[in-house]
Structure 1
Amino acid sequence: MALSPGTMRIAILASGLGAGGAEQVIAQLAHHWCRDGCEVEVIAFDRPEDPVFHRLPEAVRLHRLGGASGFAGIAGRVAALRRVITERRPQVIVSFLTKNNLIAALATVGTGTRLICAERNNPERQGTHPLWNLLLRLLYRRADAVVCQTEAVRRCFPAAVADRLVTIPNPVPPPDVARAASEVKRFCAVGRLTHQKGFDLLVAAFAEVAARRSDWQLDIWGEGPERAALERQIADLGLEGRVELRGLSPRPRAWVAETGIFVLSSRYEGFPNVLGEAMSAGLPVIAADCDFGPADMVENGRSGVLVENEAPAALGRAMVALADDPAARLIMGAAAAQAMARFRPERILRQWDQVVARVAAEVRRDAGRRAGRDEGAPLTGAGAKR
């Protein structure tokens, strides 16, 4: 179902426009809806000088609002977002990430703009403040739709919003970077350097690999607050020269060209984009069986290897086993690429169209009801005189 060209103005709300998975999906949606003839506005709580990692269409109107983070900045962000909504009057706003969803729920009150909230993570593991959690339970009821990435995430939501929940996995783009030759002996992990991503667990696992397989290296791509702690851990384990923190990838998926085996070590996820990208490129993958996402993407032993979550010893054993089996790497890589066909963007983005079209239809019905009430209302004042 294509949206009606020239009649739909859609706003998309993001924290920023960096290298994250949510930002990649936002860019794909922006391109898709612009191609369909919609007016697309992207609103971000970052600064105008911050880099944009995933290219946006030229037709997109971009609003970069800045603002302080946390509770101190929430009122300012709500006010800034409300000003944009009031000025631009989008029919629908699609908000990504939990805290932004709360801000959008507050900012849209009384504006007539419909709200679609996209939950991009495991809601049970994000450690938000108890007041946030209470507000979210109340304010998610204001959403016209809540998009979850997996059925498991969907089950985390209260029954009060069950009728608004929709499951749409992330679109996985086809490979645009040639994978490395199968004999490349480099493990690769990608993500923001945070506790969630479990890179400390991965470094601990690789210490066992390094002791047994002297020809394999580990690259970790990304930046974040855990960099200094990871550098200390690498030094303490004597892994300098074997583990490299590569920083941000110079362009999306550039790391594919240097990877022999992809590893996902996250403690929790929603639907890990980088795992899908690695599989789509035909890379053999090892993933922690965390809540949620990897088990929906990887068939253990066929299209990849799933290991116990937060278990460095098990992860290290799986890394050694796959490093020692080049035939299995080829077979699993081919199966991984086939498995990602069901997440091709042309299929997934049309599911988003259906949600937006349904919510937009409610806007039109409301407008029709208001017009009917106005036409049927008795005339008063000067207009009532004959």
Structure 2
Amino acid sequence: MKKKLLFLVSSMEGGGAERVAAMLCNYWSKSGFDVTLMATYSKRGICKHVLDDDVNLIFLADIVNSRTDSMYMKVRRTFYLRKYIIDEQPDIIVSFLTNVNIGAIIASFGLGIPVFSSERTYPPFNNWPILYNILRRIFYPYATTIIMQTQDGLDWLNKTIPSATGAIIENPVTYPLPIPEQRANNKMTSKKIILCVARLSAEKNIDMIVKVFSELANQYLDWDLVILGEGSERKKIEQVIGATKLDSRIHLVGRTNDPDFWYQQASLFIMYSKFEGFPNALVEAMSYGLPVISSNCKTGPQDILINLENGLLVELTNDREPLMHAMQYMIDNEEEAKAMGDRAIAVREHYKIEKVSMKWSNLFDSR
């Protein structure tokens, strides 16, 4: 009889955590688990990631029959989630993201079902309301295991919530990425592409990338900048792009269900985040053999990149010069950039889903 696995996420609209959730659900379904993926987002949303037919996708908002997010509805959603868990009796519960983790632990409390909850960013830099920080300290010790993505993350957990049990599991990479049944005509430019894939939020520092590109644009007329992602900073980034007068060369694409297309089209990848958990897009770009530039932020890039070996690590600063010099180096030294991209492909083996899934399986079996 198949083991039943309930995977809880916030939404499936887009983003790195959601793509990893989809990858793991697809793999576990193929490996013999009966997998249900539940999106707990109050406004429901839709799924923009490719899921296998055998993965059962449900929305907690449909069960609760509400799209509001008051404190009363948070409590009600937790109650309905607990009822669902009692009715369905999953053998294992996996959750992603702080708010979902807390809800999963509370909803399953006392039911004897192991809960494996994963933090998706480096908590000290995550701007959660103080209530979530308090609830995390109270309830994380009741999870079977709290999964962090880097040693820095595990060190934080051991120091901040020493009674919680922690483990490190990196994100998997799948190459090539799943391709949707209908591919849109995404071709926007015939020039070489510098690609940025990120949520449009302050910590991703995309305005800095735009400003640096704008200073180099006249020097490199055969290059354009393409930005994939959506988020709260869209209007600000649009204003920054408008101020550069480079609307025809800086393309703000928004969300896409076909990142494979853009990784195939790109010639250089750039990430200049202020902080990360484990940067999915960086590893994905490397798996496609792209030369990559990354800020040396906490956490993830130092675990993935060796400077000048499989990419460039750039110190995080408000000064544009380090990032500008890195972009110039990659563009001007085409052969060396290609060699770095060729070496970067090793992430396909290092972070392949079979290896990452085995780490999860070892946790499941050791509970």
TM-score (norm 2): 0.89
8 Å CA contact retained: 2:158, 2:164:
no
Matches within 5 A, 1:155-170: 155-159=155-159, 160-161=161-162, 164-170=165-171
Q: Partner of 1:185 in structure 2?
A: 192
1:219 counterpart SS class: strand
Instruction: Note the C-alpha offset of 1:333.
Output: 0.6
Answer whether contact 2:48 2:257 (CA < 8 A) is retained. no
Correspondent of 1:225 among 217, 224, 232: 232
CA contact (8 A) 2:122 2:298 kept: yes
DSSP 3-state at the match of 1:156: helix
Superposition deviation, residue 236 in structure 1: 1.3
Q: Does 1:29 align with 2:24?
A: yes
Map of 1:332 onto structure 2: 340
CA deviation after TM superposition for structure 1 residue 61, in Å: 2.6
Amino acid of the structure 1 residue aligned with 2:112? G
Superposed displacement of residue 206, structure 1? 1.2
Moved beyond 6 Å, runs of 4+: none
Give yes or no for the alignment of 1:342 onto 2:350. yes
Q: Give the deviation of 1:32 after TM superposition.
A: 2.1
1:315 lines up with 2:356 in the alignment: no
More divergent stretch after superposition (258-267 vs 309-318): 309-318
Deviation at 1:199, TM superposition (A): 0.7
Q: Does 1:55 align with 2:50?
A: yes
Return the match for 1:268 from 275, 290, 313.
275
Distance 1:14 1:260 in 2: 33
1:154 aligned residue: 154
Aligned length: 351
What are the Cα deviations for residues 38-94 of structure 1, in whole angstroms up to 9, with x where unaligned?
A: 221111124897432222222223220125447564213212211211111112210
Q: 3-state SS of the aligned residue for 2:109?
A: coil
* 8 Å Cα contact 2:195-2:269 kept in structure 1: yes
Residue 172 of structure 1 contacts residue 280 of structure 1 at CA under 8 Å; is this kept in 2? yes
CA separation of 1:137 and 1:177: change in aligned 2, threshold 3 A: closer
Corresponding position of 1:356: 364
Q: Which amino acid aligns with 2:286?
A: M
Give the whole-Å Cα distance in 1 for the aligned partners of 2:178 and 2:52: 21
Moved more, 93-102 or 29-38: 29-38
Q: Higher Cα Rg: structure 1 or 2? A: 1
Q: CA deviation at 1:108?
A: 1.1
Shift of the 55–215 alpha-carbon distance from structure 1 to 2, 3 Å rule, reads: closer
Secondary structure, counterpart of 1:140 in structure 2:
helix
1:249 to 233, 256, 264: 256
Contact 1:14 1:43 in 2 (8 A): yes
Separation in structure 1 between the aligned mates of residue 47 and residue 131 of structure 2, nearest angstrom? 32
Q: Counterpart amino acid of 2:197?
A: V
Shift of 1:212: 2.9
The residue aligned with 1:203 is: 210
Q: Distance in 2 between matches of 1:204 and 1:32?
A: 40
How high is the sequence identity, in percent, across the aligned residues? 32
SS for the counterpart of 2:125 is coil
For residue 227 of structure 1, report the CA deviation from its aligned partner.
1.2
Contact kept in structure 1, 2:200 and 2:229, CA below 8 Å: yes
Alignment pair present for 1:212 and 2:213: no
- Listed as ranges, the matches of 1:51-200 within 5 Å are 51-66=46-61, 67-69=67-69, 71=71, 73-159=73-159, 160-161=161-162, 164-176=165-177, 185-200=192-207
SS in 2 for 1:82: helix
Which sections of structure 2, spanning at least 5 residues, go unmatched? 62-66, 180-186
Cα distance in 1 between the residues matched to 2:226 and 2:259: 16
Tell whether the 8 Å contact from 2:157 to 2:164 is kept in structure 1 after alignment: no
Secondary structure of 2:116's aligned partner:
strand
Give, as a single letter, the amino acid of the residue that structure 2 aligns with 1:12.
F
